[in-house]
A and B are shown apart, each in its own frame.
Chain A
Amino acid sequence: MASYDFVFDALGLRDWCDKDAAEGGGPMTMDQLLGQAAGGDGSAQTSIWDLPFPSLDALHDACNAMPQTRNVTKGLEEAFLGVKDSLKFILDPLTQPLSWMLEGALYGILNTPWYFVVPLLLVVVWAVSRSSKLVAFVAACILGMAFIDHYDYAMQTLSIIFVCAFLCVLFGVPIGIAMSRSDGMQRGTIPILDMLQTLPPFVYLIPLIFLFSVTEPKLYGIAIILYAIVPVIRLTDLGIRLVDKDVIEAADAFGMTERQKLFGVQVPLALPTIMAGVNQTIMMSLAMVVIASLVSAPGLGVLVLRGIRNLELGVGLVAGLGIVLLAVILDRVTKASLARINPEQSD
């Protein structure tokens, strides 16, 4: 007898419980199998100390009509599979441009000769930072990686990050602005952001694998964007909300329209905070691009994965250090551009 028989007996549900007991009630669990193997039939009286928590499985023991926990996970899975096709029908065309962008970026960066790409990157670094030291550092890093034949991998990783971070800013800043303008929107969005930020990155991948084919770039593109978009949204919202109330009042008092106020006052004054968000977004997409190599994202992550899978210590370590170098470069460059925005306002 199971522990919770008395509940169903007392409620008079015994008939309902045993109705389909004759049909066996589904496959046996491991516990039941073990019980059978031990020769017992479970009828020994259990003491109150062994009373299990009334979970679905424990209740199922007492009453066959109760579902088991594995039915819950299975139900969820079936529900997802049920909507999968219609979901895919909508999402596939919507996200197709992401695939094109990623493919284009990867193709472009790998098929342009290195002697164009490297100077171009250095010019970009100079344009945003105006620091010759930083340019020299970036040059040393990239040429160093190229010297040990990691140039292609590093550029793949870099181009994925550029595309994903660009899209994060493109969508994240407007979402952040919308949040800052409506408390209701903020209340609705924050739980989603919290979830995106705390859900282990591997968990996004599972439903995405069902939705898209593993060979499609948009699969890892979406995973990276979902993971990395959170800080830019949060900090845009925060930055705009923190804009000096007196300045906003002055803008109102001089008859600015909402649009003039947003683009002439709020966004410029929130820009340092927004840029801090962009910096975080870039760092997080770099973290995710390694995990995304599990689902065919090219780049340094692939080497890390190879290091783990084949226990090739050296390959994994060198690729890992390459990622660190990329992280340092991206962080320093975005921080330098941030520092260039700040003094323009505060001095």
Chain B
Amino acid sequence: MGEDIKVSIRHLYKIFGSDPLAALQDVKAGMGKPELLEKRNHVLGLRDINVDMRAGEITVIMGLSGSGKSTLIRHLNRLIEPTAGEIEVDGEDVLAYNDEQLRKLRRERMSMVFQKFALLPHRTVLENAGLALATRGYGREEFESEANRWLDRVGLGGYGNHRPNQLSGGMQQRVGIARALTSNSEIMLMDEAFSALDPLIRTDMQDLLIELQKELHKTIVFITHDLDEALKLADHLVILNEGEVIQQDEPQQILLHPSDPYIEDFISDINRARVLRVRSVMEPNPNAEGASGDVEADDNLESVIAKAQGDTNASFRVMRDGKPVGVLNMKSLVRALVPTKASENGLRSTAA
């Protein structure tokens, strides 16, 4: 994992309405979303967002509908202009770009995958996959091999001459991903890319993405409203609510140390054993001697429970890259599985 910051968002504000700059003063002075809507008839989209996205990582931005996540991702390639704040890509201020530079950014450095696929219905699958290259001015014979390569890679070899509407939803989104990959950009923006798909196909696509990411190491910004999906994909998880970042961290940390009742609500009914990894629960000790065997640091707890056959007295040596790094005993594992309760005055209690 690279440690260099690829995309950096600083103090980003977005206010929708007729006079956002005036409303910005109120927001900075502390006016909340409902109040702003009532008094000034402006909608607060994003408030003071600060996120660093590292190169080669998947940054997942999670939130419910209306939390501003789709607005946020569209700021990165300036499909939406911010009211205030800074966005840097590779240390360059994207907001200072002129039209030509912005187009270059969108064509060569950032590609996007959409929730509703947004393929061009009048062009073939191959032409859709090669869209980014065609937009740069390449002829069909120049982008054909590249587009075909990525279509093969996402499992659509041989579909090049079909029209998008002849394919199923899952296959269409594979075309969407191939289109983003063919552009060979370092950054991929994925806006609820799998939300419109059936659960089974969604899992397939998540696996495909993880597999691709293992070899490509792109900087991926992934938007979702699904916590399971977020935990599965994220290297860095940003939780957004009402246009504000509530917590951002490694997913394991958020799960073990939720900082906000809203997040407790979210994580209260997920399968913790499947999401938590050995490394988050173990006791670090490089000289550890495992009694019952070895486990990998990135294994999830579910697989450890299966290995221990439910024996709570067992303990394991934790290995990473073939070296022992710690000890996991089953008692602390069980402790980590104690579910957090939904908070008393959080979302659910008000809904009930």
B225 at the interface (CB under 8 A from A): no
Known contacts A250-B112, A254-B111; A269/B121 CB under 8 A:
yes
Q: Shortest distance in angstroms between B135's beta carbon and chain A's nearest beta carbon?
A: 5
Residues of A within 8 A of B102 (CB): 255
Verify B121–A253 contact, CB threshold 8 A. no
How far apart sit A257 and B135, CA to CA, in the bound complex (Å)? 8
Verify A256–B135 contact, CB threshold 8 A. yes
Verify A260–B165 contact, CB threshold 8 A. no
Verify B120–A254 contact, CB threshold 8 A. no
Which residues from 296 to 347 on chain A have a C-beta closer than 8 Å to any C-beta of chain B?
Answer: 344-347
Verify A253–B106 contact, CB threshold 8 A. yes
Interface of B is mostly: mixed
Interface of A is mostly: helix
Which residues from 123 to 170 on chain B have a C-beta closer than 8 Å to any C-beta of chain A?
Answer: 131-132, 135-136, 163, 165-166
Residue ranges of A at the interface with B (Cβ–Cβ < 8 Å): 244, 246-247, 249-257, 260, 264-265, 268-269, 344-347
Residue ranges of B at the interface with A (Cβ–Cβ < 8 Å): 77, 79, 102-108, 110-112, 114, 116-122, 131-132, 135-136, 163, 165-166, 179, 183, 189
Verify A255–B104 contact, CB threshold 8 A. yes
State which of A253, A345, A347 has its C-beta within 8 Å of the C-beta of B112.
A253
Verify A249–B135 contact, CB threshold 8 A. no
State which of B105, B116, B163 has its C-beta within 8 Å of the C-beta of A255.
B105
Chain B residue nearest to A265 (CB atoms) is: B120
Chain B residue nearest to A271 (CB atoms) is: B122
A-B pairs with CB below 8 Å: how many?
67
Chain A residue nearest to B106 (CB atoms) is: A255
Q: Shortest distance in angstroms between B253's beta carbon and chain A's nearest beta carbon?
A: 32
Q: Shortest distance in angstroms between B80's beta carbon and chain A's nearest beta carbon?
A: 10
Verify A254–B165 contact, CB threshold 8 A. no
Residues of B within 8 A of A265 (CB): 120
Verify A249–B122 contact, CB threshold 8 A. no
Known contacts A254-B112, A254-B132; A249/B106 CB under 8 A:
no
Verify B103–A257 contact, CB threshold 8 A. yes
Chain A residue nearest to B102 (CB atoms) is: A255
How far apart sit A88 and B166, CA to CA, in the bound complex (Å)? 57
Verify B135–A255 contact, CB threshold 8 A. yes
Q: Shortest distance in angstroms between A135's beta carbon and chain B's nearest beta carbon?
A: 27
Chain B residue nearest to A269 (CB atoms) is: B122
State which of A254, A260, A344, A346 has its C-beta within 8 Å of the C-beta of B106.
A254
Chain A residue nearest to B104 (CB atoms) is: A255
Known contacts A253-B77, A254-B107, A257-B103; A344/B118 CB under 8 A:
no
Verify A252–B120 contact, CB threshold 8 A. no
Chain B residue nearest to A247 (CB atoms) is: B118
Verify A345–B165 contact, CB threshold 8 A. yes
Q: Shortest distance in angstroms between B172's beta carbon and chain A's nearest beta carbon?
A: 12
Residues of B within 8 A of A249 (CB): 79, 114, 118
How far apart sit A265 and B329, CA to CA, in the bound complex (Å)? 60
Residues of B within 8 A of A247 (CB): 118-121
Chain B residue nearest to A246 (CB atoms) is: B118
Verify B118–A252 contact, CB threshold 8 A. no
Verify B114–A250 contact, CB threshold 8 A. yes
| Centre residue among B108, B110, B120 by max chain A CB count within 10 A | B120
| Centre residue among B77, B104, B135 by max chain A CB count within 10 A | B135
Residues of A within 8 A of B122 (CB): 268-269, 344-345
